[in-house]
Structure 1
């Protein structure tokens, strides 16, 4: 198995953890000191507990959670990996209403450890309209 396929498989575990609403499984994917630039304020979330707090919010909103990761490209060199693509959280609200979610630009930085790969940084972002200053959330890959 190549390093690129190991990293791709590791990032795929995010999908499994979200669909299972399993914070413990997600915790194993991140470094304890992960820095996340997520779509929700503040500008950064530092540490795995802060990252998991964001995922816990998702779990509280949705009865069922889905996550897609498209067009993932991974580059590995010297024990570090960078992946980028497009991600979308979607699901079903209480009462059964489906929510398609929005596509975001997703970037991941991983470090190789003795126990495998861990995410040390991630970023989810949306482009914005310069004229209005508002995020553009209806784009699709």
Structure 2
């Protein structure tokens, strides 16, 4: 079940439109369409996702799209992503969303898995639509000195 909380300083923040952008991004990934997935990101978007390097999205769009195509090819079918209890804050033409995200997929090597991680998105409203300008994903790591990613966590 997904719930949504919203804060806004304007009378009509339309948080559903913000979540529609994230839904489109995930639908594009689930369809295996890297070009479509990048269509909801601003050209100057900064992306801190789970894959190396530490920062992505500052190179060329063609390079970014090709990197996603290569990543999608590591699965027997494209991964499915879903948010749990997203919180949306809208203030004028800026929006912030934080949520827990699950990714379920069948890897070419390693079988099916579900991974939960933390996600934060910053969006900017342009004249005709919202675009993702910042994406940050993270997986906690064990604080026992091993520094291993805590990929088995579930909400």
TM-score (norm 1): 0.87
Shift of 1:94: 4.7
Unaligned stretches of 5+ residues in structure 2: 1-11
Query: CA deviation digits over 1:71-115, x for unaligned, max 9?
Result: 2111100210001111222223459x7512311101100000012
Corresponding pairs, count: 140
Greater Cα radius of gyration, structure 1 or 2: 2
Instruction: Quote the Cα distance in structure 2 between the aligned partners of 1:114 and 1:92.
Output: 39
Match of 1:24 in 2: 35
Q: Which residue of 1 aligns with 2:129?
A: 116
For the Cα contact (< 8 Å) 2:13–2:92, is it kept in 1?
A: no
**Mapped partners of 1:90, 1:54: distance in 2:** 19
Which has the larger helix fraction?
A: 1
Q: Could you tell me how far apart the structure 2 residues matched to 1:52 and 1:89 are?
A: 19
Question: Does the 8 Å CA contact 1:36/1:51 hold for their aligned counterparts?
Answer: no
**Which whole-Å CA distance do the structure 1 matches of 2:14 and 2:47 have between them?**
23
Distance 1:36 1:68 in 2: 18
Q: How does 1:102-141 map to 2 (within 5 A)?
A: 102-131=115-144, 132-141=146-155
Question: Which residue pairs with 2:20 in the alignment?
Answer: 9
Q: CA RMSD in A?
A: 2.2
Q: Deviations over 1:28-77 (max 9, x none)?
A: 10000111111122111123735434532331111212112212111100
Aligned to 1:74: 88
Pair 36,51 (structure 1): closer, same or farther in 2 beyond 3 Å: farther
Task: Determine the structure 2 residue equivalent to 1:84.
Answer: 98
* Structure-2 change in CA distance of 1:123 and 1:54 (3 Å): farther
Say which is worse superposed, 74-83 or 2-11, in terms of deviation.
2-11
Aligned partners of 1:128 and 1:134 also within 8 Å: yes
Q: Structure 1 stretches of 5 or more lacking a match? A: none
1:28-67 superposed matches below 5 A: 28-47=39-58, 49=61, 51-65=64-78, 66-67=80-81
TM-score scaled by length of structure 2: 0.80
